Structure 1
Amino acid sequence: MAWKSFLKELKRRHVYRVAVTYAIISWLILQIVSVIVPIIEAPEWMSKVVLILLIIGFPIALILAWAFDLTPEGIMRTDPKQPGKQKPSKASKTFRISNWVIGVLIFIVIAQFLYNKYSRNETTINPDIEKTIAVLPFKLIGNDQEGAYFADGVVDLLISDLGKIDELKVRSRTSVERFHNPQESVQSIAEKLNVNFIIEGSAQKYKDEIRIMVQLIDPFQDNPIWEDRYDRQYKDIFNVQSEIATRISNSLDVIITKKEKESIAKPPTSSEKAWDLYQRGLHLVRSRAINNIRASRSFFEQAIEIDSLFVDAYVALGNTYTSEGIWHGELSGQEAKRLAQPYYLKSLEIDPNNLQALKDLARTKYYYDWDFRFMDSVNQVLRKKDPRIVHVLFEFHLGRFDQMMVDLDEMTKVIPQEEVGEHWLIAYQYYFKNQYERVIQLMEEGLLKHPQLEAYYDQFGNLCIHMGKFDRAIDILQKGLSLSDVRHPSMLIRLAIAHYKKGEVNLANNYMDEVLERAASGEPEINVYISHYYAQTGEIDTAFDWLEKAYSKREVDLIWLIVEPNFEPLRNDSRYNDLIKRVGFPDA
């Protein structure tokens, strides 16, 4: 039959061998490209281009194999006539040898690849070792910085999913953020974070396609326990993340309960597009720049338009207004409450059991309505259901230091002690006990972990002033101010106090002139800080005048009345105790 003759002719012309060899070499090339592309940060489309070229080259290779042959004299056109039986030529013997060599090499390469890919999954994990994990910020594949939000989102989902497994203790994003571009070994990072396992990886989003590369590492053996690459459609992002979390848990010999599996499998939103917008918003919020916080609202609002039941987006949107009223001072407390509170209420309407939304609502009512009773009741609920998110700052403001320490101790039973991170709260407790060396130690530890957090510099500077370390206070406060373009009135007032205490009255007046001018222009949440200065300079009546202005505007930081060291000169004045009662402190 003609077709049998055709098949024999294919064999004679070595077309079969060329096809098999081409397929194997193409596979090897694709494997090499998949490794090289992320290393050199080449764009994702490069892998596709190589694949397309290899596909195009396949029929060309077959045609050339049909038409030409490799002989001792070089490449020659294949004799179209069928030769009869003949003694194997020197060339045919050479081909046989080359076939064996190629076969052995292919076997070695494939065996090595399979070993590298699958043998690490069998790494033995010490069953007695504590399963503490840090998910380091993922690297961005390629140079598309606009896609950095996607890498952040992958880390967020992974931390969230792993955190739902009781046997694992996962460091929060805040703790690992300082290792965004680490220049140190994974062992050093693990020691600083006090973890036994490290997860690192890279991520890329190109149109509707994603690539995620993940590696679980034993940092003390410098040994990857498990690694894999996921090339999927963006619509599968939640399934991919759940799969990664499950694979990591299995690699650590952690048994996931049915309830935990269901929790991991439940996506935060029904729409990957809403999730994409939400992550874009969070990426802006993390910069802590006020303009970026404002810009983030558009993304959260768009996410809510797509998924009207997206609880996290409502909470995040509410927090953009709350933060602007508390720290940035761009909104008055009452305006911040008016804008933020409806989003917390809506999130609780969707999910009445959402404890984070409940806490944020209570926090807003506490800050802006001085609703101590509601915050107190919510904290009691949180202690029973989720001690990780108890608002310990509330107990601190009331001077309930014993309860604050109990809450912090309970937190460490659920999350690692290093994760609690409330160094400055504990530092104040030691300040009131006159244990100044411990204060400095705690605040320095806090700054190492949160070098970009302006509030730490603000509180550290305040404590240094009241420990008599004026030069140190000035240095710390000036560093805090240099972190952004925002000139926080609290920092300016503390600088004025420090210079006044040093006898540098002119410098103190310069800072005060700036703050007083801003107060005269109607800037909100500033009067209470001015009262700090006059209390420290001994102008008691003037200090109370500014406190009354703050009270009339219901300024947030009056909740510091009991514990603020700057108010120490006022504590024996009847006007001070009267103000505490009017604000509504429950223990007054």
Structure 2
Amino acid sequence: MGDFLNPDKEFLNQLNSKVEQNFAREEFGVSELAEAMNMSRSNLLRKVKKATNISVSQLISQARLQRGMELLKTTSLNVSEVSHQVGFNSTSYFIKCFREHYGYPPGEVGKRTINDLPELNTEFINKKQIPWAMFALTVGILIMAGLVWWQWPKENIMESEKSILVLPFKNDSADSSNVYLINGLMEATLNNLQKIKNLKVLSRTSAEKYRNSSKSIPEIAEELNVNYFVEGSGQKMGDKIVLNIQLVDGATDRHLWSKQYRREADDIFDLQQEISKDIVAEIQVFISPEEIQRIEKIPTTNAEAYDLFLKGVGLLNTRNDDNHRKSLEFFQQAIDLDPDFALAYACSSMAYYYLDYFRTEKQYLDELGSNADKAFLYDPKLGESHTAKAMYYMQKTEYSEALPYLEKGLEYNPNSTQILGMLADYYGNYMPNTGKYLEYALKGLRLDTGSGDSVTTSFSYLRLGNALIQAGFIDKSLEYLDKSLELYPANPFSNYVRAFVLHANDKDLHQTRELLKVEFEKDTFRFDILQDLGKVSYYLREYEDAHQYYERFIRLRETLGLDVYIHEHMIIGIVYEKVGMEQKGKEFIESCRDFFENNETVYRELALGMYYFHIGETAKGMDYLRQFSKEDNIQFWIILFLTMDPILDDIKHLPEFKKIMDEIESKFWRNNRKIQERLEEEGIW
């Protein structure tokens, strides 16, 4: 009768059978299981989640670990042998997963006996009675769980995902000077909601493009895939604020709740908190005690200081240098009135950061650091304080120091597109990690659909296109790069990246070089393109051409006073050697080796391996290459271009080299599948 009560039982039996048949295949994952079941990935993910409430990858992992436990109990195989038999080629990773699943390492399986478990009172329960006793105990637990659930406050019950967009508030006052206040209330409402992890809150720029839109709420909801909308309008009358707030259902345009708030201007913080709490209560999203504390925190007790701060924030959000300078004046006036105003210090740091962002010589680094330190001193649990500290270290190029502040800032403000963008750039440009780069680029775009400014959206699509190609998703990368160019055909980087993505399909280096030339002619100060023109010519073994490009690149780099592309000095040095400038070439090569000796990225071993291959120490080069093969999340460019490098012309035929390269490529594509599976299961792919 149980089979009739569980329609998924047959499906799960088939699923388990397929997994068991492929235990020893490490690469057997979601895609392979879907193929074995003759199902699409999406259908498999959905059906397994519904039937088991766990993901497919979790199901496979648990099945492997359970089989591992059986083998350890019933055979004489050691831990390493068992790990390979159940699809863990890394014994250390098997031990880690086993410990997390069972609470102790696999080496202790033989020591864990029935005596380690609580004893049953056999005076009252004989062997035939044990199953019934366990059944009664289980029923009792379920009844207790049901009672707890029934009595638990319903506002703590959470649906799969709830999303909200705070539309720009309207100023009902005839006095346009009050716009900053109404915008500030909208910003505060948004910021409070963004602190809630279990609520997807779209960015201010996503809302801004609908300020004067004629589109209906259901049209916007479908366009952005959002459940709820907050609409607001208000005015300031003397010392009073009147604000009208509505919560609207996205699918039906039905007003779920509305309220008018009348407060004294001095009660602005109570007003902000009340609005946020009312919205959260209405949509019944779970909010933790820590999140409540962050929302209830008052940034300053000085109403005049806060009024000046709001004026500064309005200017800071424009991302314009003149407005950034003006915002600093308001922030400083606010700080003069309240020297402990952490949020004002943090926003001052951000203004200095943006003023220096595109400058080679950083003019405001000291001011950025000083304000960030004060923000952190006065409120170390403020998300903006952590963002300011991260900006300081990013500007100093001390990237590893910035990461903890970015991660903690995101913990305090999980819907911050600003922090998500910085994390994407961190893992894309400074400490490369393809999986994390793609994850944060997707999360950022998911919350920030772009403002009405097509240029901003174009660059968001560019970032995602670049993240996708680095993880090996060629077609999807082209899709987003094309979207980027549709919105802003003059985007100076989209065609640049696109030239290399196209090479992944056609493997035509001559075409790649021609496409790069076209982009360089648009802006002959593009030292990044000059460097790549030299590199492509190097791969083509056209060293005279490569030398000409590198000569121009070095002159331009010196003229601009830049200290960039040191990691490319190996190739530059070899080109100089090839054209007879051996001493200069050696200097470049040695500077590259010195750079990577002190480098923390995953590419250190690869670069040092290439150095030793070049100077003829093949065995040492192989050792470094073998170490590099253990790295995860390497960029697709390694797979695409490494074997084209002339350094390897006398090496790549060696069986040992081929074996290592096969391992690197196989690992890359396995990781490519794992990245997609993880992002699909998280619902952000």
Q: Is the 8 Å Cα contact of residues 520 and 530 (structure 2) preserved in structure 1?
A: no
1:312 is matched with: 343
C-alpha displacement of 1:323:
1.1
Query: 2 CA distance for matches of 1:252 and 1:543?
Result: 57
1:402 is matched with: 434
1:169 counterpart (186, 200, 208): 200
Q: Is the 8 Å Cα contact of residues 196 and 414 (structure 2) preserved in structure 1?
A: no
Query: 1 CA distance for matches of 2:357 and 2:527?
Result: 16
TM-score by length of 2: 0.51
Q: Is the 8 Å Cα contact of residues 210 and 232 (structure 1) preserved in structure 2?
A: yes
C-alpha displacement of 1:398:
3.8
Query: 2 CA distance for matches of 1:403 and 1:433?
Result: 7
1:234 aligns with 2:244: no
- 1:26-37 maps to which residues of 2 (within 5 A)? none
1:478 is matched with: none
Q: Is the 8 Å Cα contact of residues 195 and 413 (structure 2) preserved in structure 1?
A: no
C-alpha displacement of 1:306:
1.3
Q: Is the 8 Å Cα contact of residues 200 and 214 (structure 1) preserved in structure 2?
A: yes
Letter in 2 for 1:400: P
1:273 aligns with 2:304: yes
1:392 aligns with 2:424: yes
Query: 1 CA distance for matches of 2:255 and 2:350?
Result: 39
1:544 is matched with: 554
1:462 is matched with: 496
C-alpha displacement of 1:184:
0.3
- 1:150-299 maps to which residues of 2 (within 5 A)? 150-254=181-285, 258-299=289-330
1:475 is matched with: none
1:429 aligns with 2:467: yes
Query: 1 CA distance for matches of 2:350 and 2:300?
Result: 19
Q: 1:134 to 1:214 in 2, by over 3 A?
A: same
Percent of matched pairs sharing the same residue: 22
Q: 1:581 to 1:568 in 2, by over 3 A?
A: closer
Q: Is the 8 Å Cα contact of residues 229 and 248 (structure 2) preserved in structure 1?
A: yes
1:501 counterpart (505, 517, 522): 517
1:352 is matched with: 380
Query: 1 CA distance for matches of 2:499 and 2:235?
Result: 48
C-alpha displacement of 1:139:
1.6
Q: 1:313 to 1:326 in 2, by over 3 A?
A: same
TM-score by length of 1: 0.58
- 1:322-337 maps to which residues of 2 (within 5 A)? 322-327=353-358, 329=359, 332-337=360-365
Query: 1 CA distance for matches of 2:388 and 2:574?
Result: 34
C-alpha displacement of 1:350:
1.4
Partner secondary structure for residue 231 of structure 2: strand
Partner secondary structure for residue 357 of structure 2: helix
Partner secondary structure for residue 161 of structure 2: coil
Report how many residues are paired. Answer: 400
Query: 2 CA distance for matches of 1:464 and 1:186?
Result: 36
Query: 1 CA distance for matches of 2:573 and 2:260?
Result: 63
Q: Is the 8 Å Cα contact of residues 408 and 420 (structure 1) preserved in structure 2?
A: no
Query: 2 CA distance for matches of 1:504 and 1:170?
Result: 40
1:26-73, Cα deviation, whole Å (9 max, x unpaired): xxxxxxxxxxxxxxxxxxxxxxxxxxxxxxxxxxxxxxxxxxxxxxxx
1:442 is matched with: 480
* Structure 2, unpaired ranges of 5+: 1-154, 451-459, 504-512, 535-547, 576-584, 605-685
Partner secondary structure for residue 333 of structure 1: coil
Query: 2 CA distance for matches of 1:172 and 1:380?
Result: 19
Q: Is the 8 Å Cα contact of residues 195 and 412 (structure 2) preserved in structure 1?
A: no
1:211-264, Cα deviation, whole Å (9 max, x unpaired): 211100112122101111223221111111211122222222346555444433
Query: 1 CA distance for matches of 2:589 and 2:557?
Result: 9
Query: 1 CA distance for matches of 2:227 and 2:403?
Result: 37
1:578 is matched with: 591
Partner secondary structure for residue 408 of structure 1: helix
C-alpha displacement of 1:342:
0.8
Partner secondary structure for residue 309 of structure 1: coil
Query: 2 CA distance for matches of 1:444 and 1:319?
Result: 32
Query: 2 CA distance for matches of 1:400 and 1:192?
Result: 32
